[in-house]
């Protein structure tokens, strides 16, 4: 199991995933979150409207963070975390996503915290 003093790390993983979604969405890659978000409920193109450019190292950093989702083996858990990250990046309201799928928001949020903790542990051991 992971060390107990890593309580900040899951929040850092979440922040990095949110940043990655924002960066890749703005870069306009056809396979990135911009095209994925358009198919999601309550998507309002909040991310896509931002007109920014990012240096190549930041785009690479974002693409690396997006690969972390593949470390989550359970597809339902992965999808729930992806929805939360996309919503926090400005792609909609997570409460509406939860309602659409019949999820209790507080339960999904607490499960996502556990997933982030496990992901943080896996990333720490991978380094």
Class of residue 106 by CB neighbours under 10 A (exposed 0-12, middle 13-18, buried 19+): exposed
Q: Please give the structure tokens belonging to residue 3.
A: 């060390």
Q: HSE (CB half, 13 Å, CA atoms) of 88?
A: 16
In this structure, of 12-21, 42-51, 75-84, the range with the lowest mean pLDDT score is 42-51
Nearest in space to 44 (alpha carbons), one of 30, 25, 69, 65: 25
Contact 76, 84 (CB under 8 A): no
How do residues 69-115 score in pLDDT, each as one tens digit?
Answer: 999 999 999 999 999 999 999 878 999 999 999 999 999 999 999 99
Whole-prediction pTM: 0.76
Q: Does pLDDT of 125 surpass 80?
A: no
* Domain boundary assignment for the chain: 9-126
């Amino acid at each position: 199991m992971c060390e107990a003093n890593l309580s900040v790390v899951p929040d850092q993983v979440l922040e990095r995933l949110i940043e990655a979604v924002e960066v890749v969405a703005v870069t306009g890659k056809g396979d990135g979150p911009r095209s994925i978000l358009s198919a999601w409920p309550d998507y309002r193109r909040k991310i896509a409207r931002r007109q920014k450019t990012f240096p190549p190292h930041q785009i690479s950093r974002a693409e690396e963070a997006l690969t972390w989702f593949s470390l989550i083996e359970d597809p339902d858990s992965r999808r729930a975390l992806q929805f939360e990250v996309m919503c926090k990046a400005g792609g909609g309201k997570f409460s509406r996503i939860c309602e659409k799928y019949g999820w209790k928001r507080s339960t999904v949020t607490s499960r996502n915290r556990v997933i982030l903790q496990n992901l943080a542990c896996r990333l720490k051991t991978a380094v």
